[in-house]
Structure 1
Amino acid sequence: MEEKRLSDLFPSMVERRRHLHRHPELSFMEKETSAQIAGILRELGIETVVNVGGFGLVANIRGELPGKTVALRADMDALPIQDEKSCEYASLHPGVMHACGHDGHTATLLALAEYYSRGKAKLRGEIRLIFQPAEEVCPGGAKSMIEEGALDGVDVIYGVHLWTPIPVGTVASAPGPLMASTDEFFIDVQGRGGHGGMPHKTVDSVLAASALVLQLQSVVSRSVDPLDPAVVTIGSIQGGTAQNIIADRCRLSGTVRCFREETRELIRERIHTLAISTAEAYGAEAKINYMMGYPSLVNNEGEYRRFMNVAPGVFGLRAELSPKIMPAEDFAYYLQQVPGCFMFVGAGNPDKAAIYPHHHPKFDIDEDAMLHAAGLLAAMAEAYQNEHA
């Protein structure tokens, strides 16, 4: 990995990232973002397939030396959040902003497209660049891109997330499970409505739903091994129209996060059982809509060791073991198909107002992190190719 050549591309990373930040697009709606990326790749003379799994793009750069096929992935969708930053690159689209760093991921991968397209003489094998739509919303874009051939012939895959919870200059990952699976559920409790002064003539759906909220808190505390991380969260409860009317229907919605498939299935079964039995205990009926989302993201242990070996040689980065975290990532689908590693690249810096958590209205990154991310991805790809030469 040639740090000087990458560093020379840093100004264009910043320019492209800020343009994307001004013009964010929501999941499954990344039409203009995709078109812009395709235009840049065409200018670089890179073979590109568009509209893969939606607005996804797959770009292939073949080196002049024999070798394997290494895939690098960036997501490119934004979030339905109003940008509250005061800066010249704030979102121009009301209610939509890049509040998770995907604009930086895309700008990083575009810099690598330029880096590799101008260095084919020294490049072993093939670099496949995957620009993915819709990471933020299930079912996500990774699965559909895989179904349409994005990973065909790929030997290994790497991805990064610019991450403000850790400081710029630090990178982190972990062997095995790193990020949780994510499932969603909606429970409709059907009772029998009536007058608030005559409760004995009704079946109170709000009362039954409230009891169910408390029962669901026992799933993790009493059904899951205490050494096996898991979360069941009730995010909303909606029922009733007035203070003197007993509601005939009440809806709960929530999310489940864990790391083991056995635990995932156990929690799903317990939620079904508790919903039905608790509602029946109050004379009501429960209908459950349970949606399985992204699986747990599981890094290949050998590729994690590669990360720990190469990261300290990239712009002087400090490599750390990351704890498991409960946010989810559909990069997990790629890792179910081929070996690889997902890595966090520190993007937090109080001196540059990069202090807000992901999905916050004032979220921003230290843009130096993009250069670190590009260097890390290039170093991982080069180390893999050299090992298999």
Structure 2
Amino acid sequence: MCRRSEVISLRDDQSAESLKAWIIRLRREFHQYPELSFEEYNTQNRILKVLGELGIEARKIADTGVLASICGTMPGPCIALRTDTDGLQVQEETTERNSEYISRNDGVMHACGHDGHMSMLFGAAKLFMENRDFPGEVRLIFQPAEEIPPGGSERVIAEGGLEGVDAVMGMHIFTNHESGSVGLRPGPFMASTNRFEVTLKGKGGHISLPKQCIDPVRMAVDFISSLNSALEEKLDKEKYILGVGRIQGGAQFNRIPDSVGILGSYRTFDSETTEVIDLTIKECLEKVKERYAKPGEEFSGLPDYELDILHGYPVLVNDPFFTDAVNLKLQESFPELTIYPELEKTFAAEDFASYLQVVPGVFISLGTRNQKKGIVEINHSCTFDIDEEILSTGTQIFYTISLDFLRHPEKYLNRQKYHGPQKYLEKA
């Protein structure tokens, strides 16, 4: 992937404040023009323009994504840094802070920090271009469509985005811990996403003649109730979360409908729990079908159901060896930084999980909650915002950890599990 390109010399006297201002300016620009998943064409063009101004080679990937490389002055390993680029279908509301950079794309908003993620990655890229005295390669992944399963990560991987990569790192801005603090968790960190869609088929008719009907509304209520009860008996509540987001059926107040649709989702931290829920959904549907069965030719083949289960993002599992090394390096390089080395697992989900199934690495949580500034709204809120002071912190973390990995990969890669170029682990 990496080819030598002419080194662009940036000003040696560039201060931290000017870099910070540049990062914030980029973040606000991206915030004003968000685009939905796999529609990030203008975002892609702007990314390519900024990379070109920095002298960084880049190409398009996954339709609306961008892949770029920064080569050091000597051979070495490769670390990939990933950011997501898509916005959400949310109408942003005006607040005391966002008047200068509120979304100009009606009904679309960067309500999950992706604008900040992009600007931090640009900041790290700029630092690497100013300081090329490192071994190996820094791979920059500007990934589209994080917000819709199965996510853009699978496309990036399928199109060679991780070829030659030895480790991967990502970061996400959250309001569940204070501004500027960092959260890590070795092992399972974020949940898998799974969607289930059920169509319950009954026999419709006049509401005054229930014996001549099979009521799919009652079947739906029974199914949801029995499913929750069955799961509570089988699983600890800490292992999963399940909810129904939509029940749809019928049109007339005095008519029993022929069918009812149910759309829901569940999240888990391991495949065994997912399998238990998959099986329990089917078992409950079969029992409901049996309970509402009626004799007679007019009820032949009824009641019945259709079930569609979609397994989305896998569980996000941080490599424990790599994560512990990141924790130690952060403590060494940023003694003033508040670090949570065992952040609680979250039922939030991220398609960064797919990268971690291919190469070792870490996904870091960067806190943005600032009560004094009124930055307290959770991700996906129509008034979500970022404490822009943290963008410099995230940039420095990207740069510092990546540089240390390139110079000392043996500190981050578990030799017993790593199957890449062993020459990088000779010191281990």
Pick the TM interval, shorter chain: over 0.9
Counterparts in 2 of 1:216-235, with a 5 A limit?
216-224=227-235, 226=236, 229-235=239-245
Q: Give the conservation status (yes or no) of the 8 Å contact 1:74–1:131.
A: yes
TM-score (norm 1): 0.95
Partner residue, 2:130: 118
TM-score of the superposed pair, with normalisation by structure 2: 0.87
Deviation for aligned residue 1:376: 1.1
**How far did 1:335 drift?**
0.2
Residues 1:263 and 2:273 aligned together: yes
Whole-Å Cα distance in 2 between the matches of residues 9 and 315 of structure 1? 22
Specify which of 288, 294, 314 is matched with residue 313 of structure 2. 294
Shift of 1:228: 5.7
Out of 382, 387, 391, the position equivalent to 1:361 is 382
Structure 2 residue aligned with 1:214: 225
Match of residue 238, structure 1, among 241, 248, 262: 248
- Structure 2: which amino acid aligns with 1:373? G
Separation in structure 2 between the aligned mates of residue 7 and residue 267 of structure 1, nearest angstrom: 51
Choose from 90, 98, 102 the match for 1:81: 90
Q: Percent identity?
A: 36
SS at match of 2:100: coil
Note the 1:98-177 alignment, pairs <5 A.
Answer: 98-120=110-132, 122-177=133-188
Matching residue's letter, 2:360: P
Q: 3-state SS of the aligned residue for 2:161?
A: coil
Give the Å deviation of 1:315: 7.5
The CA deviation at 1:379 is 1.6
| Alignment pair present for 1:63 and 2:75 | no
Q: Assess if the C-alpha contact under 8 Å between 1:353 and 1:364 holds in 2.
A: no
- Name the counterpart of 1:186: 197
Distance, in Å, in 2 between the alignment partners of 1:268 and 1:64 is 51
Distance 1:280 1:250 in 2: 17
Q: Which residue of 1 aligns with 2:322?
A: 303
> Are the counterparts in 1 of residues 128 and 399 from structure 2 also a CA contact under 8 Å?
no
Count of residue pairs the alignment pairs up: 384
Provide the residue aligned with 2:4 in structure 1.
none
Runs of 4+ in 1 over 6 A off after TM superposition: none
Instruction: Return 5+ residue gaps in structure 1 as ranges.
Output: none
- Return the alpha-carbon distance in structure 1 between the equivalents of residues 184 and 16 of structure 2: 23
Q: 1:316 Cα deviation (Å)?
A: 2.4
Q: Larger radius of gyration, structure 1 or 2? A: 2
Aligned-pair CA distance for 1:219: 4.1
* SS of 2:394 mapped into structure 1: helix
Is the contact between residue 89 and residue 109 of structure 2 (CA under 8 Å) also seen in structure 1? yes
Q: Deviations over 1:101-123 (max 9, x none)?
A: 00100111112222212221x22
Cα distance in 2 for residues equivalent to 1:369 and 1:281: 57
Q: Secondary structure at the match of 2:272?
A: helix
Q: Which residue of 1 aligns with 2:289?
A: 279
**Among 18, 21, 28, the residue aligned to 1:18:** 28
1:314 aligns to what?
334
Rounded Cα–Cα distance in structure 2 between residues aligned with 1:48 and 1:131: 10
SS in 2 for 1:337: coil
Alignment correspondent of 2:102: 90
More strand by share: 1
Q: Deviations over 1:83-130 (max 9, x none)?
A: 01332211111211011000100111112222212221x222110000
State the one-letter code of the partner of 2:118: T
Matched residue SS, 2:372: helix
Q: Which amino acid aligns with 2:258?
A: D
- Separation in 1, partners of 2:330, 2:237: 30
Offset, 1:163: 1.1
- Separation in 1, partners of 2:189, 2:231: 19
Q: 1:366 Cα deviation (Å)?
A: 0.3
In 2: Cα distance, 1:227 partner to 1:274 partner: 19
Do 1:212 and 1:279's aligned partners in 2 also have CA atoms closer than 8 Å? Answer: no
> Which residue is 2:344 aligned to?
323
Structure 2: stretches of 5+ with no match in the other structure: 1-11, 294-302, 410-423
The 3-state SS of whatever aligns with 2:70 is strand
Residue by residue over 1:300-329, the C-alpha shift from the partner in whole angstroms, topping out at 9 and shown as x without a partner, is: 001111221122323821110210000100
Partner Cα separation in structure 2 for residue 63 and residue 116 of structure 1: 9
DSSP 3-state at the match of 1:350: coil
CA RMSD of aligned residues (A): 1.6
